[in-house]
Amino acid sequence: MIQNALTRKLESFETLSDLDRSALDTLVDKVRKVGPRVDLIREGDEPESVHLILDGYACRYKVLPDGQREIVAYFVPGDFCDLNVFILDRMDHSIGTITKCQVVDIPRTSIDKITASHPRITRAFWWCGLVDEAVLREWLVNIGARESTERIAHLICELLMRHDAVGLASDNSYAFPFTQGDIADTMGLSVVHVNRVLRELRRMELITIRRRVLTVLDIDGLKAFCRFNPSYLHLENRRWADLRCAARHDRAMQG
Protein backbone atom coordinates (compact mmCIF):
# COMPACT_ATOMS: atom_id res chain seq x y z
CA MET A 1 0.00 0.00 0.00
CA ILE A 2 2.79 2.44 0.90
CA GLN A 3 4.85 1.89 -2.24
CA ASN A 4 1.66 1.80 -4.28
CA ALA A 5 1.05 5.47 -3.45
CA LEU A 6 4.19 6.43 -5.37
CA THR A 7 3.41 4.11 -8.28
CA ARG A 8 -0.20 5.29 -8.54
CA LYS A 9 0.90 8.91 -8.57
CA LEU A 10 3.47 8.36 -11.31
CA GLU A 11 1.04 6.28 -13.38
CA SER A 12 -1.44 9.14 -13.38
CA PHE A 13 1.10 10.83 -15.65
CA GLU A 14 2.77 7.93 -17.49
CA THR A 15 2.11 4.22 -18.00
CA LEU A 16 4.86 2.21 -16.33
CA SER A 17 6.11 -1.22 -17.31
CA ASP A 18 6.84 -4.05 -14.91
CA LEU A 19 10.54 -3.18 -15.24
CA ASP A 20 9.76 0.42 -14.34
CA ARG A 21 7.89 -0.68 -11.23
CA SER A 22 10.74 -2.96 -10.22
CA ALA A 23 13.18 -0.08 -10.63
CA LEU A 24 11.00 2.11 -8.42
CA ASP A 25 11.05 -0.62 -5.78
CA THR A 26 14.82 -0.23 -5.55
CA LEU A 27 14.37 3.41 -4.58
CA VAL A 28 12.35 2.57 -1.48
CA ASP A 29 14.41 -0.24 0.00
CA LYS A 30 15.62 1.85 2.95
CA VAL A 31 12.76 3.48 4.81
CA ARG A 32 13.20 5.46 8.01
CA LYS A 33 10.58 6.49 10.50
CA VAL A 34 10.44 10.15 11.53
CA GLY A 35 8.35 11.62 14.31
CA PRO A 36 5.89 14.50 13.96
CA ARG A 37 7.08 18.11 13.81
CA VAL A 38 10.63 17.15 12.87
CA ASP A 39 12.69 18.94 10.21
CA LEU A 40 13.90 16.67 7.43
CA ILE A 41 16.15 19.47 6.20
CA ARG A 42 16.49 23.10 7.18
CA GLU A 43 17.08 26.33 5.33
CA GLY A 44 20.84 26.77 4.92
CA ASP A 45 21.62 23.04 4.93
CA GLU A 46 23.43 21.43 2.00
CA PRO A 47 21.03 19.03 0.23
CA GLU A 48 22.37 15.53 -0.24
CA SER A 49 19.29 13.53 -1.20
CA VAL A 50 15.69 13.72 -2.39
CA HIS A 51 13.09 13.08 0.31
CA LEU A 52 10.18 10.83 -0.64
CA ILE A 53 7.18 10.69 1.68
CA LEU A 54 5.83 7.14 1.74
CA ASP A 55 3.48 7.55 4.65
CA GLY A 56 2.37 10.54 6.70
CA TYR A 57 2.33 14.26 5.95
CA ALA A 58 5.02 16.91 5.62
CA CYS A 59 5.33 20.49 4.44
CA ARG A 60 7.69 22.98 2.84
CA TYR A 61 7.96 26.21 4.78
CA LYS A 62 9.84 29.45 5.36
CA VAL A 63 10.42 31.26 8.64
CA LEU A 64 10.66 35.06 8.71
CA PRO A 65 13.13 36.89 10.97
CA ASP A 66 10.32 37.60 13.45
CA GLY A 67 9.60 33.88 13.75
CA GLN A 68 6.46 33.85 11.62
CA ARG A 69 6.10 30.67 9.56
CA GLU A 70 4.62 30.41 6.07
CA ILE A 71 3.79 26.96 4.69
CA VAL A 72 4.18 26.92 0.91
CA ALA A 73 3.50 23.24 0.12
CA TYR A 74 1.98 20.12 1.64
CA PHE A 75 3.34 16.65 0.93
CA VAL A 76 1.05 13.62 1.06
CA PRO A 77 2.06 9.95 0.65
CA GLY A 78 3.72 9.36 -2.72
CA ASP A 79 5.13 12.90 -2.96
CA PHE A 80 8.75 13.83 -3.56
CA CYS A 81 9.68 16.88 -1.52
CA ASP A 82 11.86 18.26 -4.31
CA LEU A 83 13.22 16.25 -7.22
CA ASN A 84 15.60 19.02 -8.33
CA VAL A 85 17.03 19.83 -4.92
CA PHE A 86 20.55 18.86 -6.02
CA ILE A 87 20.81 22.05 -8.04
CA LEU A 88 20.91 24.08 -4.83
CA ASP A 89 24.17 24.68 -2.98
CA ARG A 90 22.14 25.35 0.14
CA MET A 91 18.47 25.01 0.96
CA ASP A 92 16.44 28.21 0.64
CA HIS A 93 13.54 26.69 2.59
CA SER A 94 12.88 24.01 5.19
CA ILE A 95 10.98 20.72 4.98
CA GLY A 96 9.37 19.35 8.11
CA THR A 97 6.97 16.58 9.05
CA ILE A 98 3.46 17.32 10.23
CA THR A 99 2.69 13.80 11.42
CA LYS A 100 4.91 10.81 11.98
CA CYS A 101 6.21 9.77 8.58
CA GLN A 102 7.95 7.02 6.71
CA VAL A 103 10.59 8.71 4.57
CA VAL A 104 13.07 7.55 1.96
CA ASP A 105 16.25 9.55 1.38
CA ILE A 106 17.16 8.97 -2.27
CA PRO A 107 20.73 9.91 -3.28
CA ARG A 108 21.39 11.78 -6.49
CA THR A 109 23.18 8.78 -8.00
CA SER A 110 20.01 6.70 -7.69
CA ILE A 111 17.91 9.37 -9.39
CA ASP A 112 20.49 9.72 -12.19
CA LYS A 113 20.62 5.96 -12.69
CA ILE A 114 16.87 5.39 -12.86
CA THR A 115 16.23 8.32 -15.20
CA ALA A 116 19.04 7.22 -17.53
CA SER A 117 17.53 3.74 -17.94
CA HIS A 118 13.77 4.31 -17.68
CA PRO A 119 12.36 7.04 -19.95
CA ARG A 120 8.77 6.52 -18.73
CA ILE A 121 9.85 7.16 -15.15
CA THR A 122 11.78 10.21 -16.32
CA ARG A 123 8.67 11.64 -17.98
CA ALA A 124 6.63 10.90 -14.85
CA PHE A 125 9.25 12.73 -12.77
CA TRP A 126 9.00 15.70 -15.12
CA TRP A 127 5.26 15.74 -14.61
CA CYS A 128 5.72 15.68 -10.83
CA GLY A 129 7.89 18.77 -11.02
CA LEU A 130 5.51 20.59 -13.36
CA VAL A 131 2.51 19.81 -11.16
CA ASP A 132 4.38 21.03 -8.06
CA GLU A 133 4.93 24.35 -9.84
CA ALA A 134 1.28 24.48 -10.94
CA VAL A 135 0.11 23.89 -7.37
CA LEU A 136 2.34 26.70 -6.13
CA ARG A 137 0.89 29.05 -8.76
CA GLU A 138 -2.63 28.11 -7.68
CA TRP A 139 -1.76 28.73 -4.03
CA LEU A 140 -0.52 32.22 -4.98
CA VAL A 141 -3.84 32.87 -6.71
CA ASN A 142 -5.64 31.45 -3.69
CA ILE A 143 -4.05 33.89 -1.26
CA GLY A 144 -4.11 36.87 -3.62
CA ALA A 145 -7.56 36.59 -5.19
CA ARG A 146 -9.91 34.54 -3.00
CA GLU A 147 -11.76 35.36 0.17
CA SER A 148 -10.66 33.52 3.30
CA THR A 149 -13.54 31.03 3.27
CA GLU A 150 -12.91 30.27 -0.41
CA ARG A 151 -9.17 29.81 0.25
CA ILE A 152 -9.70 27.06 2.79
CA ALA A 153 -12.48 25.44 0.77
CA HIS A 154 -10.14 25.39 -2.24
CA LEU A 155 -7.38 23.74 -0.21
CA ILE A 156 -9.83 21.10 1.03
CA CYS A 157 -10.86 20.31 -2.55
CA GLU A 158 -7.25 20.08 -3.67
CA LEU A 159 -6.26 17.72 -0.87
CA LEU A 160 -9.25 15.50 -1.61
CA MET A 161 -8.17 15.21 -5.26
CA ARG A 162 -4.55 14.52 -4.33
CA HIS A 163 -5.52 11.85 -1.79
CA ASP A 164 -7.88 10.22 -4.26
CA ALA A 165 -5.14 10.11 -6.93
CA VAL A 166 -3.01 7.83 -4.73
CA GLY A 167 -5.88 5.75 -3.37
CA LEU A 168 -6.06 7.40 0.05
CA ALA A 169 -9.57 8.87 -0.13
CA SER A 170 -12.82 6.99 0.38
CA ASP A 171 -16.36 8.32 0.04
CA ASN A 172 -14.98 11.88 -0.17
CA SER A 173 -13.15 11.41 3.14
CA TYR A 174 -9.42 11.63 3.83
CA ALA A 175 -7.00 12.04 6.71
CA PHE A 176 -6.76 15.65 7.85
CA PRO A 177 -4.04 15.91 10.50
CA PHE A 178 -3.43 19.60 9.95
CA THR A 179 -3.96 21.88 12.92
CA GLN A 180 -5.70 25.21 12.67
CA GLY A 181 -2.25 26.72 13.16
CA ASP A 182 -0.99 24.84 10.10
CA ILE A 183 -3.88 26.12 8.01
CA ALA A 184 -3.36 29.64 9.32
CA ASP A 185 0.32 29.52 8.31
CA THR A 186 -0.71 28.25 4.88
CA MET A 187 -3.53 30.68 4.17
CA GLY A 188 -2.03 33.85 5.66
CA LEU A 189 -4.78 34.00 8.31
CA SER A 190 -4.99 33.98 12.09
CA VAL A 191 -5.93 30.84 13.99
CA VAL A 192 -9.11 32.57 15.15
CA HIS A 193 -10.04 33.32 11.54
CA VAL A 194 -9.39 29.72 10.47
CA ASN A 195 -11.61 28.45 13.28
CA ARG A 196 -14.38 30.79 12.14
CA VAL A 197 -14.06 29.63 8.51
CA LEU A 198 -14.18 25.93 9.39
CA ARG A 199 -17.28 26.53 11.52
CA GLU A 200 -18.87 28.34 8.58
CA LEU A 201 -18.14 25.48 6.17
CA ARG A 202 -19.67 23.08 8.68
CA ARG A 203 -22.72 25.33 9.09
CA MET A 204 -23.17 25.31 5.33
CA GLU A 205 -23.12 21.51 5.53
CA LEU A 206 -20.23 21.30 3.08
CA ILE A 207 -17.74 19.46 5.35
CA THR A 208 -17.30 17.67 8.64
CA ILE A 209 -14.08 16.96 10.55
CA ARG A 210 -14.10 14.12 13.07
CA ARG A 211 -11.13 12.38 14.64
CA ARG A 212 -8.78 14.03 12.15
CA VAL A 213 -10.73 12.78 9.15
CA LEU A 214 -12.29 15.36 6.85
CA THR A 215 -15.41 14.43 4.89
CA VAL A 216 -16.76 16.55 2.07
CA LEU A 217 -20.54 16.28 2.37
CA ASP A 218 -21.35 18.12 -0.84
CA ILE A 219 -18.46 17.93 -3.28
CA ASP A 220 -20.24 19.76 -6.10
CA GLY A 221 -21.40 22.46 -3.71
CA LEU A 222 -17.91 22.90 -2.24
CA LYS A 223 -16.29 23.11 -5.67
CA ALA A 224 -18.87 25.66 -6.83
CA PHE A 225 -18.46 27.70 -3.66
CA CYS A 226 -14.70 28.20 -4.13
CA ARG A 227 -14.74 27.95 -7.95
CA PHE A 228 -12.44 24.95 -7.84
CA ASN A 229 -11.04 23.82 -11.19
CA PRO A 230 -8.79 20.75 -10.80
CA SER A 231 -7.07 21.22 -14.17
CA TYR A 232 -3.87 22.54 -12.51
CA LEU A 233 -3.36 19.14 -10.86
CA HIS A 234 -3.18 17.50 -14.31
CA LEU A 235 -4.73 14.26 -13.02
CA GLU A 236 -6.11 13.55 -16.48
CA ASN A 237 -3.10 13.90 -18.72
CA ARG A 238 -4.88 13.98 -22.08
CA ARG A 239 -1.71 14.31 -24.13
CA TRP A 240 -0.57 10.85 -23.05
CA ALA A 241 -3.99 9.31 -22.40
CA ASP A 242 -4.14 7.39 -25.69
CA LEU A 243 -0.65 5.99 -25.17
CA ARG A 244 -1.51 4.87 -21.63
CA CYS A 245 -4.71 3.18 -22.76
CA ALA A 246 -2.89 1.39 -25.56
CA ALA A 247 -0.16 0.19 -23.19
CA ARG A 248 -2.72 -1.09 -20.69
CA HIS A 249 -4.54 -2.91 -23.50
CA ASP A 250 -1.30 -4.53 -24.63
CA ARG A 251 -0.51 -5.70 -21.10
CA ALA A 252 -4.02 -7.12 -20.71
CA MET A 253 -3.72 -9.03 -23.99
CA GLN A 254 -0.34 -10.43 -22.95
CA GLY A 255 -1.74 -11.48 -19.57
Ordered by start, the domain boundaries in the chain are 2-254
CA terminus-to-terminus distance, the chain:
23
Could you tell me the pLDDT band of residue 4, with boundaries at 50, 70 and 90?
confident
CA–CA dist 31, 60 (Å, integer): 20
pLDDT band at 237 (very low <50, low <70, confident <90, very high): low
pLDDT at 1 (0 to 100):
44
Q: What is the mean pLDDT of residues 154-159?
A: 98
Q: Cβ(22)–Cβ(74) under 8 Å? A: no
pLDDT tens-digit map of 42-66: 999 999 889 999 999 999 999 999 9
Residue 30 in this model has a pLDDT that exceeds 90: no
Percent of the chain topping pLDDT 90: 73
Region 238-245 average pLDDT: 49
Structure-model confidence comparison of residues 86 and 166, the more confident one: 166
The pLDDT of residue 244 is 46
- Report the pLDDT value the prediction gives residue 255, as an integer from 0 to 100: 52
| Topology at the third CATH level for domain 2-254 | Jelly Rolls (2.60.120)
pLDDT at residue 184 above 90?
Answer: yes
pLDDT, tens only, 59-115: 999 999 999 999 999 999 999 998 888 778 899 999 999 999 999 999 888 988 999
Q: What is the pLDDT of residue 254?
A: 54
